[in-house]
Amino acid sequence: MIRGKSISILLLFIFLISCSQDKSTQNQVTTLKRTAEELVASKKTSDMSYKQLMNILNSGSVMVHQGILIENKQMVIEGAGLILNHAAPKENPWIIMNKQDQEEFKNSLLAYDIVLDNYARAIAEESKKENWLEASNKSHELMNSCIVCHSMWKHKVK
């Protein structure tokens, strides 16, 4: 009797796990299928340039960094929010590149939007738990992602 019960609990558990995996694969597929045009359309509109957007991301990472240093959770959360909730620039970001580079730059925009958001979320979560060392490790990885994209693209701006 007890055995039967634990087997059904086990089956329920496996069922729940498989459901959640299904969902995450689906999410992944929709994320991968998203186009750069859809990404831009999903953001709030603004009248700023791509450079001005970059300066907002910069302010966000400075706040994240300082918040971790002085152990101010709210400062970290608000800094991460600047990265997570930024608006789209007034013109499509890929127009800063030459025509032949635009498709590839769109791929970077899509990929790095996810990468930056994931780090910003993780940093906020770790700070909420006062795991300052882990928050700091993640903030270095965040900054490194910015720099990787810069090393690939800044010299190609027309």
Site residues, ligand HEC (CB under 6 A): 50-51, 54-55, 57-58, 61, 83, 96, 108-109, 112, 116, 142, 146, 149-150, 153-154, 157
Token duo for residue 111: 């990929």
Compute the distance between CA of residue 81 and CA of residue 21 in angstroms, rounded to an integer: 27
Kindly state the smallest distance separating residue 81's Cβ from ligand HEC, in Å: 13
If the CB atoms of residues 23 and 90 are measured against ligand HEC, the closer one turns out to be 90
Tell me the Cα Rg of the chain: 20
Compute the distance between CA of residue 126 and CA of residue 142 in angstroms, rounded to an integer: 14
Kindly state the smallest distance separating residue 75's Cβ from ligand HEC, in Å: 16
If the CB atoms of residues 114 and 132 are measured against ligand HEC, the closer one turns out to be 114
Compute the distance between CA of residue 15 and CA of residue 21 in angstroms, rounded to an integer: 10
**In this structure, what DSSP letter does residue 72 have?**
-
Chain position carrying tokens 């690939």: 152
Kindly state the smallest distance separating residue 72's Cβ from ligand HEC, in Å: 19
Kindly state the smallest distance separating residue 105's Cβ from ligand HEC, in Å: 7
Question: What is the largest distance, in Å, between two alpha-carbon atoms of the chain?
Answer: 73
If the CB atoms of residues 26 and 42 are measured against ligand HEC, the closer one turns out to be 42
If the CB atoms of residues 10 and 62 are measured against ligand HEC, the closer one turns out to be 62
If the CB atoms of residues 83 and 88 are measured against ligand HEC, the closer one turns out to be 83
- Asked if residues 135 and 68 have their Cβ atoms less than 8 Å apart, the reply is yes
Kindly state the smallest distance separating residue 12's Cβ from ligand HEC, in Å: 42
10: number of Cβ within 10 Å: 10
